[in-house]
Amino acid sequence: MNFKGKDIISIKDFSKPEINYILDYSKKMVDFAKGEKYIDILKGKVMSSLFFEPSTRTMLSFGCAMNRLGGRVIGFSDPGKTSQKKGESLADTIRMADSYSDLIVIRHPQEGAARLATEFAEVPVINAGDGAGQHPTQCLLDLFTILTEKKKIEGNKVILLGDLKYGRTVHSLAYALSLYGAELTFVSPKSLEMPREVVDECKDLGVKPVSTSNLEKSIRDTDVLYVTRIQKERFPDAEEYNKVVGTYTIDNKLLQNAKKDLIIMHPLPRLAEINPEVDTTPHALYFKEAFNGVPLRMALLSLTIGGEL
Ligand code: NCD
């Protein structure tokens, strides 16, 4: 399998054997990701980190991954301090990053921005989130987390909860979980249901997702509860946000009805949708999930620009 020079824009660009290969390869990166072993297979390589939207985990774990592989990072996290402020086009910004680096990681508020960037870059482009579109690297680390904890992806009963309309992580994950034949339940307020096209993609892959707003009932026989934040920044109207914020809260009382080995995931940042009292229960996997971003992204960087271990 050859990923050299490949853009990573959508999880839909990958076949199941390709995803399996990446997940296997990520396992080999764990000790390096923790700093317990050392490699420098990306020595001399430079990654552009272009964040047009706020980020903590995605930006820092990409940076960490590049450093752990011996590479270096240039970039920005505040586009207001770049020539974008003077009116420069995205195309020209990408052309510059292309000439200064070996790979571009981009997060942008507009859906399709990462795909557009590939038109102006010779080097590989990785989509670190494009508006309400896709978040393929988060999806891969989520799959990696489920695989590590549950030993398999197929057959798990998974709830995707919260803002299924604007949440890009769940758009990518619903597709990928369908590829593996997981059982899907979508739980959201009525106004934030999973977009029709994502539901259709799942059905095309042979999965029949159940949509409901009743979390208490659905949680009983669930293996994985994937919680998301209501994406305030994507609401055209503050009133609409106020109507749905606080609809679901995961707390210890709710978890009394859950399976003992239920795992709770969240791409983070978490606001009030998970009560901090849950953090110390064996269900809470979200911080480990965030760490998994490092080995997973090390694998992607190594496969696209480094040559393999
Ligand atoms: C998510 C994102 O940016 O889509 N965060 C992340 O990358 N880990 C989720 C969110 O912002 O709610």
Q: Give the 3-state DSSP-derived string for 169-180, with helices as H, strands as E and coil as C.
A: HHHHHHHHHHHC
Catalytic residues: 57-58, 86, 107, 135
Q: Are residues 285 and 192 in the same domain?
A: yes
Asked if 259 contacts 191 with a C-beta cutoff of 8 angstroms, the reply is no
Q: Are residues 208 and 301 in the same domain?
A: no
Element (H, E) at 287: helix 286-301
Measured in Å, residue 8 CA sits from the centre of ligand 1 at 17
Q: How far apart are CA 156 and CA 262, in angstroms?
A: 10
* Ligand 1 pocket member 292 (CB < 6 A): no
Q: What are phi and psi of 14, to 5 degrees?
A: -110, 140
What total number of domains does the chain contain? 2
Rounded (10°) angle between helices 16-27 and 136-150:
70
Give the domain range for residue 233: 136-290
Q: Are residues 45 and 60 in the same domain?
A: yes
Q: Are residues 31 and 161 in the same domain?
A: no
Q: Whose CA is nearest to atom 12 of ligand 1?
A: 229
pLDDT at 138: 98
Q: Are residues 285 and 140 in the same domain?
A: yes
* Ligand 1 pocket member 57 (CB < 6 A): yes
Q: Are residues 189 and 103 in the same domain?
A: no
Atom of ligand 1 nearest to the CA of 135: 4
Q: Are residues 285 and 165 in the same domain?
A: yes
Tens-level pLDDT at each residue, the chain (309 residues): 999 999 999 999 999 999 999 999 999 999 999 999 999 999 999 999 999 999 999 999 999 999 999 999 999 999 999 999 999 999 999 999 999 999 999 999 999 999 999 999 999 999 999 999 999 999 999 999 999 999 999 999 999 999 999 999 999 999 999 999 999 999 999 999 999 999 999 999 999 999 999 999 999 999 999 999 999 999 999 999 999 999 999 999 999 999 999 999 999 999 999 999 999 999 999 999 999 999 999 999 999 999 777
* Ligand 1 pocket member 71 (CB < 6 A): no
Q: Is residue 41 part of a domain?
A: yes
Q: Is residue 127 part of a domain?
A: yes
Q: Are residues 183 and 197 in the same domain?
A: yes
pLDDT at 308: 73
Q: Is residue 70 part of a domain?
A: yes
Asked if 292 contacts 148 with a C-beta cutoff of 8 angstroms, the reply is yes
Q: Are residues 150 and 278 in the same domain?
A: yes
Q: Are residues 125 and 183 in the same domain?
A: no
Q: Whose CA is nearest to atom 6 of ligand 1?
A: 267
Location of structure tokens 């609401």: 235
Q: Is residue 190 part of a domain?
A: yes
Q: Is residue 53 part of a domain?
A: yes
Asked if 202 contacts 209 with a C-beta cutoff of 8 angstroms, the reply is yes
161 - beta bridge partners? Answer: 187, 227
Q: Are residues 125 and 161 in the same domain?
A: no
**181 conformational bin, left if phi > 0, alpha if psi -120 to 50, beta if neither:** left
Which whole-number Å values give the CA distances from 255 to 225, 250, 251, 259, in the listed order?
A: 11, 7, 6, 8
Peptide bond into 195 cis (omega under 30): no
Query: Would you give the distance in Å from CA 85 to the centre of its chain?
Result: 28
Q: Are residues 32 and 62 in the same domain?
A: yes
Q: How far apart are CA 293 and CA 128, in angstroms?
A: 12
* Ligand 1 pocket member 134 (CB < 6 A): no
Atom of ligand 1 nearest to the CA of 163: 12
Asked if 252 contacts 215 with a C-beta cutoff of 8 angstroms, the reply is no
Q: How far apart are CA 39 and CA 67, in angstroms?
A: 10
> Which CATH number do you get for residue 182?
3.40.50.1370
Q: How far apart are CA 288 and CA 144, in angstroms?
A: 11
Q: Is residue 6 part of a domain?
A: no
Q: Is residue 5 part of a domain?
A: no
- Which of 77, 229, 268 has most ligand 1 atoms within 8 Å of its beta carbon, as the pocket-test mutant? 268
* Ligand 1 pocket member 270 (CB < 6 A): no
* Ligand 1 pocket member 129 (CB < 6 A): yes
